[in-house]
Structure 1
Amino acid sequence: MLTHGQNVSYGNSVRVVTTNIIEGDIDPETNAISTRQEILNLKILCQTPQEAGQIANTLNPLLAKGEPIYFSGGLPSRKQDGSIEVVVEMPKLTKASK
């Protein structure tokens, strides 16, 4: 992957990047709901590049249709660019692709 002009290797994994818009309280000065955006990177670890390809090919049509995708993951960590990364597992996809 090329990011900010640098080549970054993620090993055997699939990345799903989401933008979450979080609504807060009403700002008393503007009378508008305060919102903020957070970028969340989900990293799906894979055994092989072929498994990563199979998972990506399974996820792409679901993402295009806007269907929900369920993940099981660990604690999030904040990256240097301000985004948050969670390493996740997708047992149904990874078992099916082996």
Structure 2
Amino acid sequence: MKSNRVSTRGILVTLCADESRVGMPGRAAPQGKLTGIGVKPIGEVQWQLLYRWLYGVVELLSGEHFMLEMSHLDSLCFEAFLQTFAQTYPHQLHLIQVDTCLST
């Protein structure tokens, strides 16, 4: 969001919030050779997943937005996102509509 565009609308800004998981699978662990050539391993491979969470708010009328990449989807990361957002736009009152995500 650009603060000069938002401030012309007034002090109260209405936004919608959502989060999304982005990333890709990493390498299998462990990376060493387990068997000889042509012999399939018996055990299962546990993949290491490299994911991040993208938190964001959007003002629907203008399309202005604020996004932040976080490591987890939990209350601590969401609180850090809200504090960063509030520090970025300290002179406005934000009404944020959030979804009912069932994260732990």
Higher helix share: 1
Larger RCO (CA under 8 A, 6+ residues apart) = 2
The normalised TM-score by structure 1 is: 0.34
